[in-house]
Amino acid sequence: MRILIVGGGPAGLTFAACLLRHGIEPVVVEKAPRGSTGGYSIGLHINGWRVAERLGLVEAFRAKAMPLGPAHHLDRRGRKLFSYDYRVLAKAAEGRLLAIMRSDFQDILTAAVTDKCPIHYETTVAALDDDGAGVTATFSDGSTDRFDLVVGADGYRSTVRALAFGPHEDFLRPLGYRASAWRVPLSRPLGASFVGMMDVNHQGGLYDVGDGTAATLFCWRDARTDRLDPEARRAVLQAKFGGWPEPIASALTSAIDWDRAFFDTVSQIEVPKWSKGRIALLGDAAWCLTFLAGQGTSTAMAGAYILAAELARKGHAEALDSYEARMRPLVTKMQAVSRKIGGHYVPQSTFGMRMQSWILPIMLSRPLIKFTSSRLAAPAVELEKSDD
């Protein structure tokens, strides 16, 4: 079996690594140049951790993990609202929790499949022709190739989904926010794993990478879903967060490489069925939990592992149905969690912000962290079936 994977991000590369374990031939195409990876952080949680264990990558991820420690939340004037400790969260997860820069994550996965499968950078898919017996893909350079299956792991604005399933807008569920993230040098140490500030309808902060830089994450209420050019993005960020004190002030005046930075609407993707004939979707292309759930990468990794296992033991039609049946309950749960968290992450009122400042440290404290995790964290999905 020969499978085209469109998208060389965490979902696509994990899928490639999982296919290789089963002796299935993957071919990866990625629109970005090699090494052009977003400058923001991602979390590895229980489902991604268990996949990483099976791929033998846990120690590599640990070696590049960001430091875990206190997280401080301040108001927009720099006054303390509340704090908690990521080490408490990690202990509740029995140590199976880490944060890592997406670029480091990508490098580790790339190394795991390099020389074992082709990865074609700066390449996109222009057309897909599924004739029932296979799929002929036409690429951006005009070349064509034939595959048994095509899997779109090409993100929230998936080209594969647009070509085979319908326009992007048909599957978009906006949550009412925009977000932006990029990497900045630190003029002075943060003194914590995270320092963030919030105000009504706004949240922004910096995560310590551990190498003298920080990963930013800004989020604010905005119902629009149109795309903005780099000049307009900078103007929006200044309008929303300009005048806030350090460390926000330095982050906003730093140089931003928009080829590596993130700026987009915060929306989920809802596709009634994740496959159509010999074309399937994986990760953000299929569901997009959004960063609010904090489980997007790990859920994509679990989906990649399960899809590869199903394809190794079943015909493509049955395998795609089984993959969806096994993953859909987890995705549905975590999309609901993401929608719920949004209202707390970006407070709607001063009263709500004050209530959150009182309640959240209690919920994330040692006595209650297990309960909180059971309500908000992703449950462990069954990776192996008895006949896998």
Question: Tens digits of per-residue pLDDT, 189-222?
Answer: 999 999 999 999 999 999 999 999 999 999 999 9
Question: Tens digits of per-residue pLDDT, 286-303?
Answer: 999 999 888 999 999 999
Residue 359: band (very low, low, confident or very high) from pLDDT cuts 50, 70, 90: confident
141 is a domain residue: yes
290 is a domain residue: yes
64 is a domain residue: yes
Q: What is the dihedral of CA 303, 305, 310, 311, to 10 degrees?
A: 100
What rounded mean pLDDT belongs to the chain? Answer: 93
Specify the number of domains making up the chain: 1
320 is a domain residue: yes
In this prediction the pTM is: 0.94
Domain enclosing residue 164, as ranges: 2-376
The secondary element (H helix, E strand) that includes residue 326 is helix 316-345
Question: Tens digits of per-residue pLDDT, 64-106?
Answer: 999 999 999 999 999 999 999 999 988 888 889 999 999 999 9
Task: Give the C-alpha separation, 258 to 274, whole Å.
Answer: 30
Domain with 188 in it: what CATH number? Answer: 3.50.50.60
381 is a domain residue: no
Structural Rg of the chain based on CA atoms:
21
Q: Is the dihedral of CA 200, 202, 207, 213 positive or negative?
A: negative
